[in-house]
Amino acid sequence: MTETGIEDVMGPHRFRNNQRMVPASESAWQLAADHGMLDIRVDATHGQNRLRDVRTGHEFLNLASCSYLGLNSHPTVVEAGVTALREERVTGLAMAEFRIRLDAAHRVEEELSALFGTRVLPSISCGVLSSAVLPLLGSGHLTGTDPLVVVFDRFAHFSMNFVKPVVADETLVLTCPHNDMDFLEDVCRRYPRVAYVCEGAYSTGGLADLEGIRALQERYGLYVYLDDSHALSTQGPYGEGYARSVFRELDERTMIVASTAKAFGSTGGIAMLGASSQFDFLYRSGPMGWSQGLRTAAIGTTLGSIAVHRSPELGVRQRRLAENIALFDRRMKDRGVRGTGSHIKFVTVGENERAVRLATELYRRGYYCSAMFFPVVPRGQAGIRLMLRGDMTAAMTERFVTVLEDVLDGFA
């Protein structure tokens, strides 16, 4: 025992280590702050393509927004939120939804289920859904079995990795190298019940090997828990997302969760389930059973977004996004940018300071991109993340790529 007794109270650090992570990440965040890349306060009157820093007057195009179709400013979506508040005359009931909930909340659940062609459970966020679902998945309560070995993809989003210690209190938790189907198959061979936790479109660029995952599911009965937050609405006739391009019909071995605060244009999260009533207890379990349901404005904006998803405009914005992706990929194909075919791109430059300097120079030229560093990406692989959107014109994308090429040439 040390003089302070610290060694006696230190955690095992099996799945997280704040003693190492916080100092490393905070030094990088401070670097970004020192360059004026944090706490930028804007006037969004003219939309994300022309934000204005209210303190300096600097105008810029936002390439860090996850609203990939620009629906967060769509008049139908915004007005639906205002209408819901006026009609209900309450911001929310502030109680567990399994006891009492607004009829409008029930309507949202029904309309989302009809839109996506499967049972849908809405919640206040995708992170809340993961916190509620993953421990119950690990313990076997979603499958009606003994516990499952839960395998997290190494690049799975922090909102899922955050729950690892809780899941590990219920069952064996493993971490899989990114998209490594051989590793996953070996686990399936060794254990009778396995669940795989991953993303569809990864938040730092790249896509899941959906065909490989489905093949293992068909061969071994693998349970698939897939977060498709960054792809929901961006593809599919009704915005079903990337995961549903392969997992079209959901069954009792598949759950897709997604944020409705990104391309969908509202706020909150959803879980898409196979046709079964056995998941009703999720409303009464853990975070989903607490006193924080979808607020009235969120119910309204979700209904407004559903209306847009049922209109021809969704396809127009999806096609424009696809065209911007193709344009970017064609122009940047020899630059080593991660995320080919995806609307999320990552430019690796190495050290934190280089990433912040790159982001700062792009901002100076009228484009905000996020500098990313450990623990979001591995040490020594810092860079910038940028998101293309379907409310950007091709001319905007062309101009940005020209600027990006020029700035990168200056960093060579």
The DSSP annotation for 85-109 comes to HHHH-SS---S-TTT---HHHHHHH
The whole-number pLDDT of residue 2 equals: 59
Convert the pLDDT of each residue in 15-42 to its tens digit.
887 878 788 778 888 888 889 988 999 9
The whole-number pLDDT of residue 275 equals: 63
- Rounded to two decimals, what is the model's pTM? 0.91
- For residue 227, give the H/E element and its range: strand 223-227
What pairs with residue 111 in β-bridges?
none
Average pLDDT, the chain: 91
> Do residues 244 and 220 make contact, with C-beta atoms less than 8 angstroms apart?
no
Q: Which domains does the chain have, with CATH numbers?
A: 14-68+312-411 (3.90.1150.10), 75-309 (3.40.640.10)
Please give the backbone phi and psi of residue 133, each rounded to the nearest 5 degrees, phi first: -85, -45
Is the pLDDT at 69 greater than 60? The verdict is yes
The whole-number pLDDT of residue 6 equals: 60
The model's confidence at residue 3, banded by pLDDT at 50, 70 and 90, is: low
What pairs with residue 344 in β-bridges?
387
Residue in 199, 244, 223 with CA at minimum distance from that of residue 137 = 223
Residue type, position 395, single letter: A
The whole-number pLDDT of residue 410 equals: 86
Q: Which two tokens stand for residue 278?
A: 């056995």
Convert the pLDDT of each residue in 211-249 to its tens digit.
999 999 999 999 999 999 999 999 999 999 999 999 999
Q: Which two tokens stand for residue 351?
A: 């050290």
Convert the pLDDT of each residue in 365-398 to its tens digit.
999 999 988 777 778 888 999 999 999 999 999 9
Report how far apart, in Å, the C-alpha atoms of 353 and of each of 7, 142, 335, 336 are.
34, 45, 20, 19
DSSP assignment string, 272-294: EE-S-SGGGGGGGSGGGGSS---
